[in-house]
Amino acid sequence: MNKININDFNYELPDERIAKFPLPQRDLSKLLIYDKGKISHQSFSDLPNFLNSNSLLIFNNTKVVRARIIFYKPTGAQIEIFCLEPVLPSNYEQNFATTTECIWNCTVGNLKKWKGETLKKEFTCDNIHDELSVEKIDVGYQSLKLKFSWKSGLSFAQIMDVCGKMPVPPYLKRESQEIDSERYQTIYSKPEGSVAAPTAGLHFSNNIFKILKSKNIKTDEITLHVGAGTFKPVKTEFVNEHVMHSEHFFVKKTSIQKIIKHLGNITAVGTTSVRTLESLYFAGCKIKQNKNIKNLNIQQFEPYENNNLQMSVEESLQAILNYLDNNNLEELTATTQIMILPEYKLKIVNQLITNFHQPKSTLLLLVAAFIGNDWHKVYDYALKNDFRFLSYGDSSILIPK
């Protein structure tokens, strides 16, 4: 791998250009069009005009959970717990369905004030009054294992919904508000599990989906539960020394079949969809090498170490289908730590719909994998034409040369 200096992916982002709130209407955000080197802009409602009729749009349908839970000590000290990922049960669906206790990896705000005593929070849900308790189980490298317990028989999903707050991005520099409950969520979100929204999808409205259908543009969904690591800045001088976060993803057999059918015309909605789709190729390579593999995990630099595989995308995806058939599975479950850098050669995704990302971020590096150094031109254009940046900001479609 070539050494990549993160300072080469810096730009000046004034605070006033960061969108602190969503626009009144989802699809009236701006859309920057990067079409093989040419740059222009329209309204996001014009997006279908820039897609081929035989395109397949793939969305990340994960749902953001109210992952921030505030507890108070008897002294009045506030302890903020941010639930990152389930530990026991480790399966998201099973964890949210638990009715007495569960364990999560969490980060804790004001940790120095929490000496280890059990914290309690009273709440009412569906006319049932109960108390949520939390205690430390284990101290990890970057997070704590915390045990939540309660007595009413309510599901943990119900409790999160009542006790938790939407985890709006830290760069908004504000508390979550009622509007975030609706707008920091895509209209097609389904399985709960993310602590950050797949924000490229926030622009899509029912009207946009109607137009896509009328133009015979196909759509499909995958799931990647977005972790808090998506906001983790690259603090090392060289990107190669940065440790990527790992995220769980799920892709149905029917989706893989559609992908094979539409290879060459696949548009990913958001960077999380890109990470999932590109991880499929390496998952297929692993399965081809070991048909009995149990735990599929794509390491961050695997794409740069396995170039000798020389396996076609079709072969790789077919290996996954065979694996699913042989194990009577309808869905591939895996984790990915994949790091998509400017030198990465895209395997599956041909076009990208995405927002405008933070300076010196892994998401900006991913954009550079699509359009190379032209990312400078795109971001300069967006800044000069009053585009709104980051999660609640405007959108772009990137069509590489």
SS (H, E, C) the chain: CCCCEHHHHCCCCCHHHECCCCCCCHHHCEEEEEECCEEEEEEHHHHHHHCCCCCEEEEECCEECCCEEEEECCCCCEEEEEEEEEEECCCHHHHHHCCCEEEEEEEEECHHHCCCCCEEEEEEECCEEEEEEEEEEEECCCCEEEEEECCCCCCHHHHHHHHEECCCCHHHCCCCCHHHHHHCCCCCCCCEEECCCCHHHHHCCHHHHHHHHHCCCEEEEEEECCCHHHHCCCCCCEHHHCCCCCEEEEEEHHHHHHHHHCCCCEEEECHHHHHHHHHHHHHHHHHHHCCCCCCCEECCCHHHHCHHHCCCHHHHHHHHHHHHHHCCCCEEEEEECCCCCCCCCCCCCCEEEEECCCCCCHHHHHHHHHHHHHHHHHHHHHHHCCCCECCCCCEEEEECC
Place of tokens 């960077």: 271
The answer to whether 367 and 329 are in contact (CB under 8 A) is no
Q: For 245-280, what is each residue's pLDDT tens digit?
A: 889 999 999 999 999 999 999 999 999 999 999 999
Residues 6+ apart with CB under 8 A from 262: 54, 55, 56, 218
Q: For 133-190, what is each residue's pLDDT tens digit?
A: 999 998 765 679 999 999 999 999 999 999 999 999 989 999 999 999 999 999 999 9
- Among the listed residues 66, 56, 34, the one whose alpha carbon sits nearest the alpha carbon of residue 184: 66
pTM as predicted? 0.93
What CATH number should be reported for the domain whose range is 67-165? 2.40.10
Q: For 354-395, what is each residue's pLDDT tens digit?
A: 999 999 999 999 999 999 999 999 999 999 999 999 999 999
For the chain, first and last CA: distance in Å? 23
Q: For 319-335, what is each residue's pLDDT tens digit?
A: 999 999 999 999 999 99
Buried b (16+ CB within 10 A) or exposed e, 41-66: beebbebbebbeeebbbbbbbbbbbb
Q: For 3-55, what is each residue's pLDDT tens digit?
A: 999 999 999 999 999 999 999 999 999 999 999 999 999 999 999 999 988 89
Distance, CA of 181 to chain centre: 17
What CATH number should be reported for the domain whose range is 6-63+184-399? 3.40.1780.10
Domain chopping of the chain, boundaries? 6-63+184-399, 67-165
Buried b (16+ CB within 10 A) or exposed e, 256-278: bebbeebeebbbbbbbbbbbbbb
